[in-house]
A and B are shown apart, each in its own frame.
Chain A
């Protein structure tokens, strides 16, 4: 039986039922988001002034909001937005973190020092401050902006983890071997070291998705997001004035955020245990 890292991890992961549940929920959410136009035809999230603020019932599973939009359909379409933003932020974060962490960990020396100083400075600034300042800088409120801001505030942590992985992997015999065979630096990094550092990236990435979804909702709720786009945070913020009259407007989207975040955390925990990764440096 092969005992590669992936195989060991998979065996460990299989034992963790909670993680499976988490992973399963995520898969359902992704499918829901993909098939949104089919499950919840766009008409349902259109304004319908004849059926505003209806309580949950047979026609509208979670009720309607102040302009007659079906809350359940809104949540389904909102899943798209949340996932898109989280995925974009994750992509940017990984690109930045891997680039910086790999270079710092592989080349060490002055390059390492400089890069680490930069990450230190960003780590020092409180996340919320940096996020709010970046987002409020721009005149236009857009979701891409939020994704970029979140990527900027989160890449240093991942970079450090990648860097420490590289620092240790660098000393492994197979790297020596590859170098003596004349492989270029880039080839060594890409083909040998990176795949082994993948586990940390996967674990951290999963946990970060949870943060991205949470932060995006929070920023939108506070008014710094794009209120026009279909997003959970904006629905909750709209429902704030109707807490006494139409509690379902704020409650259900919040529940959605909660469930997705929970799923990501469960999955991330399971993955971390499976890969036995140290997520703190």
Chain B
């Protein structure tokens, strides 16, 4: 008797585990792709789950694989072209940010050159077309020729579905209403122009920084990693983002006054302003520029920008105090844009010059106190990845800033940052936050204390597909997938309207964007057509029934449980009777 109960109990336990596995069992779809997501990236996961639901319509089983950030980056960045089973990924949702005024990040970014950190390099690897078009577009100073090639690249990208472009996120610039003169796209480079209406000195402004974009990790611009907003207030570069009379973004001189290119395009001569001083009073001269660029080009310094810069520039010379000559390694039409990157902010030679390049990263100037700069704000205090305090530099060559004290603070929780802005604890909230709570934006726009404006940020969000995957290598399959992305619903539900649907890797209305590139839309019928053309049988196969196991197994469980209880009760009653 006891053994009977024991056996039944074991049966119950083991079928318990089995029962938990029952779902609507289905046949195995013909194509399986492994979609990798980074743990903690909510939107990534949402897009992956949406696509999982859509792609089953054409017989593609999407298996979502979640990894911690490091492994995710390894699978997408450092294992290009490897399918998931080989250690890479089959699909991933990625984003890429651009400069407003030209394409940079050296050509390895979107050709098969070296390190393909992003999806469209899977594409570039396959045949030479994409490579050739981009190289042409980036190697001539003739704008018409450039545009022809860059447009052709974009059109080819869309037809061939190098990646599936979803859109360009709209970010919301969020400040208290007294803050004026702020353009979130310039990443605090315009801090010297910010004003606080109706405030009396001393004026303090608190800016909450998104943990992904800041705070600075290294105080020297060479090592700023992803946090650069604060450094943009302390240092200047030769050129900066400005606007043409027509209102488009363009590169305008900042610390430089003008540039001349040699006839063969291999030499650029910059004339510098004469009236700039470092925060410690020493005048700014060409030797500071030469020093900064020399460090950038020295691999021993381990500067982030080493690859980009040395691909374009081969050497720098400073014939006199206010002239700098860049000898180029290749024709570089995007040179002024290159010089606008936060990585090439100029640092003082008289302070850093004596330090060997390989000791810069570990030096106190990078870890404790930054060297003086030429920007509108001076360094005051900081705690790494927590906050940084800056004070106004009254001798700034474009005029003293209106704000006396500027504090950047980093938080990890988006909602808490928002609450701080609403309460008035902080006056500015970094634009990256707006992606975290798109639902709140309409409410924020209506809030009388705040000034909230949607700005189109130069960033592309796309679904990267690995062209080396057996199914994804087929152009028709990729096109089918592109027609199964519910673009409108993603815009409305996932992004709550804070995204502009796109037709090209290049962001709409920025420099070089091709308005004629093909724009995909949601069309399941077309998707199925394309799959049929690709030779796949329609899915799902007709008459898939709900397997009875869904009901049977739990019923068996209940039966077994009932049996055990019944036996046990009978046993107890019988024993009782026996002993009475």
Contacts and interface: CB of A to CB of B under 8 A. Distances in A.
Interface in A90-142: 136, 139-141
A182 B554 CA distance: 45
Contact of B576 (A1, A241, A243): A1
A49 B487 CA distance: 11
A224 B46 CA distance: 18
A67 B37 contact: no
A42 B40 CA distance: 25
B49 A38 contact: no
Task: Give the residue among B24, B439, B490, B580 with the most A Cβ atoms within 10 A.
Answer: B439
Contact of B23 (A1, A33, A37, A84): A37
Given A34-B554, A227-B45, A80 B68 contact: no
Given A47-B53, A52-B493, A241 B415 contact: yes
Contacts of A228: 37, 45, 49, 64-66
B436 interface: yes
B486 A227 contact: no
Given A34-B557, A243-B415, A2 B575 contact: yes
A42 B67 CA distance: 26
Contacts of A31: 558
B510 interface: no
A240 B68 contact: no
Interface size class of B (residues with CB under 8 A): 35 or more
Contacts of A67: 46, 49-50, 493-494
B572 to A, nearest CB: 8
B22 interface: yes
A223 interface: yes
A83 interface: yes
A223 B490 CA distance: 24
B16 interface: yes
A227 B67 CA distance: 9
Nearest to A68: B493
A243 B554 CA distance: 37
Contact of A245 (B17, B440, B550): B440
Given A67-B50, A67-B493, A241 B436 contact: yes
Interface size class of A (residues with CB under 8 A): 35 or more
A91 B332 CA distance: 65
Interface string B279-294: 0000000000000000
A42 B439 CA distance: 27
A84 B17 contact: yes
A227 B575 contact: no
A49 B440 contact: no
A173 interface: no
Contacts of A66: 46, 493-494
A38 B414 contact: no
A114 B399 CA distance: 75
A244 interface: yes
B576 A84 contact: no
Contacts of B576: 1-2
Label chain B's interface by main secondary structure: helix
B5 interface: no
Contact of A2 (B24, B50, B551, B579): B579
Contact of A37 (B22, B436, B580): B22
B71 interface: yes
Contacts of B418: 244
B508 to A, nearest CB: 24
A37 B40 contact: no
Nearest to B24: A42
B410 interface: no
Given A80-B20, A139-B68, A238 B579 contact: no
Interface string B209-242: 0000000000000000000000000000000000
A245 B439 contact: yes
Contacts of A224: 39
A68 to B, nearest CB: 7
A53 B439 contact: yes
A208 interface: no
Given A47-B50, A227-B66, A84 B37 contact: no
Contacts of A140: 65-67
A31 B580 CA distance: 37
Nearest to B72: A139
A176 interface: no
A38 B555 CA distance: 11
A87 interface: yes
Contacts of B580: 1
Contacts of B40: 223, 227
A49 B67 contact: no
Contacts of B134: none
A185 interface: no
A139 B67 contact: yes
Nearest to A238: B42
B489 interface: yes
A226 interface: yes
Contacts of A144: none
B486 A87 contact: no
A55 to B, nearest CB: 13
Contacts of A136: 68
A35 interface: yes
B297 interface: no
Task: Give the residue among B46, B492, B493, B551 with the most A Cβ atoms within 10 A.
Answer: B493
Interface of B: 16-17, 19-20, 22-24, 37, 39-40, 42, 45-46, 49-50, 53, 64-68, 71, 413-415, 418, 436-437, 439-440, 486, 489-490, 492-494, 550-551, 554, 557-558, 575-576, 579-580
28 contacts: A2-B575, A34-B19, A34-B557, A35-B554, A38-B550, A42-B24, A47-B49, A47-B50, A47-B53, A49-B492, A50-B489, A66-B493, A67-B49, A80-B20, A84-B20, A87-B16, A140-B66, A140-B67, A223-B39, A226-B66, A227-B40, A228-B64, A241-B42, A241-B414, A244-B418, A245-B439, A245-B440, A246-B439
Given A37-B22, A67-B50, A141-B39, 14 more contacts: A1-B576, A2-B576, A2-B579, A31-B558, A34-B557, A38-B554, A49-B486, A49-B492, A53-B439, A140-B65, A223-B40, A241-B437, A242-B439, A244-B415
What 8 pairs across the A-B complex have the smallest Cβ distances? A49-B489, A49-B493, A34-B554, A139-B71, A228-B64, A37-B550, A52-B493, A245-B439
